[in-house]
Structure formats: C-alpha cells, structure tokens
C-alpha cells in the first residue's frame, strides 16, 4: 500500500512577497494565480485580501478576474499557508514504476499510461494520485498539471502539461472537440452493428449514501459517443469508443443504456455478467484509454500516441479468443 509523508503544519509567511508574472503565466486570472501560489489558503480568504486591497498589481488595486500580463508585479501580503498536500515518497515501488508508464515527454508536456486503480489526483479520502506521484518524480518541475481526467478504475492515456501555455492550448483543443480520444471496452453480449452512435443526455445524481452516479435523463447534458466493433467473442464484444463530449462516466453509461454494460463495472455493470467475468478472470473495469491525437502546442504538428492494453486485460482477450476456437 502506498504511504505518504506526514502533513506538515501551517507555515507562516510573515513578510510581504513580490511575484513577477512570467510569459507562461500571462493570461490567467489573478485569483487563479493566487490559488496556485497559496495552496492551503481558503478561497474566501484570497478574495478578501484582494477586495481589501492587500493584493496589488503594479502597485494598484484590482479585481479577482483581472487577466495577468507578462512582467506584472504582484504584491502578496503576509498569510498563513498550509504546506502542499502530502507527497508520496518517490522511492516507493508503486510510485517509481510511474516512470515506466510515461509514453511521451518533452519540455512542455507528458503523456502517461495510467494504471487502473490509481486516481488521477488526491481527494475524497485519497491522499494522492497520479499527479502527486508525478510531482514526486519531477520535484524540479515547477508546473505540472492534469490536462484532463479519466476514472480511477479506467486505465490508459492521460495528458499532463509542464507549461501553462501548453495547458491553455490543450484545453482549447478539448473545448473545440478537436482532440481525438479512443477507448477500448469489453461489453456484455453481441454489440448491435447499428449502434454506431449513442446520443443520450446524462445527468449527475448523488444517492443518499453519498455515492455519485450518472443516469440518462432528458434534463441532462447532451452527450455523444461513437462506437465500432473491434472483435466479437462468444458472449462479449470488444468495442472501440470515441467520446465526442466528455461527460462523467459517459462511455460506461452509454454502453449500459444500449443494454451492453462494460465488463467488471461495479457501478453500471449487469449482475448477470458476473459468472462470465469470473470465468475469464475479469477483476477490474475493462475500459482503457487506448489512443489520443492532438496538435502539439509548440510544433503544431499532429501527435498520435497509443497505449497498449496492460498484461491483465490482454490476458482476458487471449483467454476469450481461445474459448471461441
């Protein structure tokens, strides 16, 4: 089990500090700049010190939504800042193995093949996730942020920005839906050939237990996924999924909506599929972010990266092929 270093106590900054906005930091809002700098300080407190004029930009008062420009001088008053969240020890086996999960890296970004079971970030009872692990491996990297997210139980490709300019560029591509994301999923039964596109609005719900669940609801947000059949087995189908929109649990709910839930899905799966899962050794959600294509923020050329199925999922596929011979 991964263990974190203990949290440090609140560290007081008793002196006024001045920060100069770099070219890479330009364009972001003042409040977001301060939230990144003053981790552990409540958002309400940050807005208060801006409103009271204790935060100054180029010696003048300003508003939280002020867009920073390169070389702006920001005055930050004395505050008490909690140390950053506990960081996993980079020498831990599970964390050091993340080095082998890096599919691509250059001076502005990383592409990681995230293992199943590892959340992309800490929170909700988790002290750390993928991004905290990468920060532990790259302590010299001042900026390291997730470009997008995938579910904890989903394996596969995650983009991480090492420069704010790269983060802005990739976020813009995601908003314009020009990033091509392809997943592989093993679904129950024979996937219907006519189900090439599923458009079903999705609504987030919270159960009394506190569990978050997503359902198809006419009042929900428009959601669209493209599907194609990759391989057909006796009792299941390997499908390729291309989410056009990026809603929470979108592929999992859309496959369930069609009547062919994903194997190993504890939230949206079909109990009638359990015997099949046990027969072929399916012990986790069979959903994998297989391929991604986007415009590289610096070279402006198309970068296409593929993450092969891990040993566990590949083993399931081989067993299923053998069973149909």
Residues with a catalytic annotation lie at: 151
According to DSSP, residue 22 is labeled P
Half-sphere exposure of 4 (CA within 13 A, CB side): 15
- What distance in Å separates the CA atoms of residue 202 and residue 148, rounded to the nearest whole number? 19
According to DSSP, residue 201 is labeled -
Element (H, E) at 319: helix 311-323
- What distance in Å separates the CA atoms of residue 317 and residue 233, rounded to the nearest whole number? 9
Question: Is 154 in contact with 214 (CB distance < 8 Å)?
Answer: no
Please name which of 188, 275, 286 lies closest in space to residue 237, comparing C-alpha atoms: 188
Neighbour count for residue 266 (Cβ, 10 Å): 8
Element (H, E) at 121: none
Neighbour count for residue 64 (Cβ, 10 Å): 16
β-strand partners of 126: 123
- What distance in Å separates the CA atoms of residue 102 and residue 307, rounded to the nearest whole number? 10
């Amino acid at each position: 089990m991964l263990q974190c270093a203990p949290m440090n106590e609140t560290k007081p900054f008793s002196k006024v500090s001045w920060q100069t906005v770099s070219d890479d930091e330009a364009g972001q809002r003042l409040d977001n700049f301060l939230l990144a700098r003053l981790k552990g300080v409540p958002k309400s407190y940050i807005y208060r010190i801006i409103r009271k004029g204790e935060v100054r930009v180029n010696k003048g008062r300003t508003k939280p939504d002020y867009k920073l420009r390169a070389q702006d001088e920001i005055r930050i008053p004395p505050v008490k800042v909690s140390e950053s969240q506990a960081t996993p020890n980079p020498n831990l086996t599970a964390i050091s193995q993340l080095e082998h999960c890096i599919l691509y890296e250059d001076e502005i970004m990383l592409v990681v093949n995230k293992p199943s079971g590892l959340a992309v970030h800490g929170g909700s009872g988790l002290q750390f996730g993928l991004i905290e692990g990468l920060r532990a491996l790259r302590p010299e990297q001042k900026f390291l942020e997730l470009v997008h997210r995938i579910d904890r139980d989903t394996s596969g490709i995650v983009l991480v920005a090492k420069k704010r300019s790269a983060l802005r560029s990739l976020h813009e591509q995601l908003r314009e839906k020009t990033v091509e994301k392809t997943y592989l999923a093993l679904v129950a039964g024979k996937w219907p050939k006519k189900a090439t596109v599923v458009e079903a609005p999705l609504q987030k719900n919270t159960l009394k237990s506190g569990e978050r669940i997503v359902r198809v609801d006419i009042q929900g947000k428009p959601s669209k996924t493209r599907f194609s059949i990759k391989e057909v087995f006796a009792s299941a189908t390997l499908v390729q999924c291309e989410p056009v929109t990026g809603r929470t649990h979108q592929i999992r709910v859309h496959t369930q909506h069609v009547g062919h839930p994903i194997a190993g899905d504890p939230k949206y799966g079909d109990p009638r599929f359990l015997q099949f899962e046990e027969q072929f050794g399916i012990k986790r959600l069979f959903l994998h972010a297989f391929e991604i294509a986007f415009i590289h923020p610096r070279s402006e050329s198309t970068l296409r990266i593929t993450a092969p199925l891990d040993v566990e999922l590949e083993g399931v596929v081989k067993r299923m092929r053998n069973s149909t011979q």
